[in-house]
Amino acid sequence: MPSPAALFASILFGLIGAVAFGYGKKNASWRPMVVGVALVAFPYFVSETWLIYAIGSVLCVLLFVLRD
Protein backbone atom coordinates (compact mmCIF):
# COMPACT_ATOMS: atom_id res chain seq x y z
CA MET A 1 0.00 0.00 0.00
CA PRO A 2 1.55 3.33 -1.03
CA SER A 3 1.89 6.16 1.43
CA PRO A 4 -0.59 9.06 1.24
CA ALA A 5 2.14 11.32 -0.15
CA ALA A 6 2.94 8.86 -2.94
CA LEU A 7 -0.75 8.44 -3.73
CA PHE A 8 -1.24 12.22 -3.88
CA ALA A 9 1.80 12.60 -6.15
CA SER A 10 0.56 9.87 -8.47
CA ILE A 11 -2.85 11.52 -8.78
CA LEU A 12 -1.34 14.99 -9.22
CA PHE A 13 1.12 14.02 -11.94
CA GLY A 14 -1.48 11.81 -13.60
CA LEU A 15 -3.87 14.75 -13.87
CA ILE A 16 -1.14 17.04 -15.20
CA GLY A 17 -0.20 14.35 -17.73
CA ALA A 18 -3.80 13.90 -18.87
CA VAL A 19 -4.17 17.65 -19.41
CA ALA A 20 -0.85 17.80 -21.29
CA PHE A 21 -1.90 14.89 -23.50
CA GLY A 22 -5.24 16.55 -24.26
CA TYR A 23 -3.50 19.82 -25.07
CA GLY A 24 -1.05 18.07 -27.40
CA LYS A 25 -3.83 16.17 -29.13
CA LYS A 26 -5.90 19.31 -29.62
CA ASN A 27 -2.97 21.20 -31.13
CA ALA A 28 -1.54 18.21 -33.04
CA SER A 29 1.77 18.56 -31.21
CA TRP A 30 3.57 15.34 -30.33
CA ARG A 31 5.86 16.76 -27.60
CA PRO A 32 3.21 17.46 -24.95
CA MET A 33 1.49 14.20 -25.85
CA VAL A 34 4.66 12.18 -25.18
CA VAL A 35 5.41 13.99 -21.91
CA GLY A 36 1.76 13.62 -20.91
CA VAL A 37 1.85 9.87 -21.43
CA ALA A 38 5.10 9.69 -19.46
CA LEU A 39 3.54 11.68 -16.59
CA VAL A 40 0.54 9.39 -16.48
CA ALA A 41 2.53 6.14 -16.73
CA PHE A 42 5.66 6.57 -14.62
CA PRO A 43 4.05 6.38 -11.14
CA TYR A 44 3.05 2.79 -11.91
CA PHE A 45 6.72 1.83 -12.15
CA VAL A 46 8.23 3.93 -9.32
CA SER A 47 7.52 3.11 -5.69
CA GLU A 48 9.72 5.59 -3.80
CA THR A 49 7.85 8.77 -2.87
CA TRP A 50 10.79 11.11 -3.32
CA LEU A 51 11.53 9.60 -6.72
CA ILE A 52 7.93 10.11 -7.85
CA TYR A 53 8.16 13.79 -6.96
CA ALA A 54 11.61 14.14 -8.58
CA ILE A 55 10.69 12.48 -11.88
CA GLY A 56 7.32 14.22 -12.01
CA SER A 57 8.91 17.61 -11.43
CA VAL A 58 11.47 17.03 -14.17
CA LEU A 59 8.76 15.96 -16.61
CA CYS A 60 6.66 19.02 -15.73
CA VAL A 61 9.66 21.26 -16.40
CA LEU A 62 10.10 19.49 -19.74
CA LEU A 63 6.56 20.52 -20.68
CA PHE A 64 7.66 24.15 -20.60
CA VAL A 65 11.15 23.62 -22.03
CA LEU A 66 9.88 21.64 -25.05
CA ARG A 67 7.16 24.11 -25.98
CA ASP A 68 6.71 24.98 -29.64
Q: Which domain holds residue 38?
A: 4-65
**Mean pLDDT of the region 47-64:** 95
Chain centroid offset of residue 50 CA? 15
- Does residue 27 register a pLDDT over 80? yes
pTM over 0.85: yes
How many domains would you assign to the chain? 1
Q: What is the pLDDT of residue 46?
A: 93
Eight-state DSSP code of residue 28: T
Mean pLDDT confidence for 27-39: 94
Other Cβ atoms within 10 Å of 68 Cβ, number:
7
pLDDT band at residue 19 under the 50/70/90 scheme: very high
